[in-house]
Amino acid sequence: MTADTDVRDSRVLYGCMGLGGGWDADAYTARDIDDAEAAVQAALAAGITAFDQADIYRHGKSEAVFGEVLARTPGLRERVVLQTKCGIRLPHGDQPGLYDLRGPSILQRVEESLTRLRTDVIDVLLLHRPDPLADPAEIATALGSLRRQGLVRQVGVSNMSGAQIARLQAHLDFPLIANQLEMSLHRRDWVEAGVLVNTTDATGNGFPLGTVEYCTANGMQLQAWGSLAKGRFTGGQETAAEQATARLVADLAERRQTTPETILLWWLQRHPARVAPVIGTTRPERIRACADAARREPQLTHEEWYLLWVTARGAALP
C-alpha cells in the first residue's frame, strides 16, 4: 500500500463489527479466525478493499482476528485500506460505559489497536463518538503526534454533527476526511432533514441540519453504517410500508439484473454526497451480493430513487 491510499476512493466498506466471536471477554477461537477470513475473502471477491474496525468491537477480538487473517495471508495488508476507531470505553465492573477522547487515551488506544491488528500503521483513524469533556486542542495534539510518528495516515470522525466537526477542525492543520453516520433507506432522517425545513414535521427530525452539506463542502466522505438496515427490506418486514418497499426493491433488482442488497446500497450512493455504505453482514453470500455496488455506478433513475424514498417513508413528501 502506498502512503497516498485514500478511503474516499472506496465505494463500499466492509464493517468488521460481527467478527471475533461473542461480545464478551472470552478468548476468540480458531473457528472465529476462519470465519473472519471467509468474510474478508468474500469482501475482496466483491471488490471491497476497505475494512472498518473499532477498538471495542467484540471487546477487541474483532481487531485481533483481523490481525490473525493479515498474518496468515502474505501481501494482504498491502491490498487493503485499514480503518479503525477509538473513543468509546465499554462498561467494566461498576464503571459505566463512557466516551473518552482525552489525548493520552487516544494514544494508548491506537497503540493497542496496532498490536491487535498486527500492523505498523492505521490508514484511517476515526473518533468514534463525541466526548463532551474533551478539549479539542488536546485531541488535535494527540492526532498530530500519531501522524508525525507515521502510526496513522488519515483521520476522520463518527457520529458527529457539522458543528462538532468544524470545532475540531479549527484546531487541526490537516483535514478530517470522513464522517461515519447511521444512514439507510430505513434511517432516512439525514436526507429528510433537508426537505422538512419550514414544515411542522421538522420538529420530529433529530438529525443535525447542515451536517451532510458541511461534509460535502469540505470534501469529507460520508460513510453509512447500518446501510442494509439489518435486512429489513431483504428479510422480514414489520410494517405495510416495509413490505411494499421490499417488493419494490426486489422488482428493481430484477429489472437491473442485480441483487436487492445492491439496490439498497445504490439508493445511498445515488445521493450527490457520494455516500459510501458500510456493510456489516458476516455471511459470505450476502457480502458477495453487494458486489455491484462496489463495482458499478448506481443504476437508479431520479424517479426510481424518489419512489424508493416515498415508499419507505409510507407517506407523500411535504
C-alpha cell, 81:
485500506
C-alpha to C-alpha distance for 147 and 141, rounded to whole angstroms = 10
For residues 151 and 143, give the distance between their C-alpha atoms in angstroms, rounded to a whole number: 10
Which residue type sits at 270?
Answer: R
Q: Going along 174-253, which residue ranges are E strands?
A: 176-182, 221-225
Residue 181's region, left for phi above 0, alpha for psi from -120 to 50, else beta, is: beta
Pair 113, 55: CB distance under 8 Å? yes
Rounded distance between C-alpha atoms, residue 142 and residue 135, angstroms: 11
DSSP secondary structure letter of residue 95: B
- Strand 98-99 relative to strand 221-225, pairing: unpaired
Options 57, 99, 214, 306, the catalytic residue: 57
21: left (phi over 0), alpha (psi -120 to 50) or beta: left
- CA 57 to each of CA 49, 122, 147: distance values in angstroms, whole numbers, following the listed order: 19, 16, 24
Strands 221-225 and 176-182: parallel
210 CA to centre of own chain: 20
Contact 256, 263 (CB under 8 A): yes
Give catalytic status of residue 57 as yes or no.
Answer: yes
Catalytic residue positions, numbered:
57
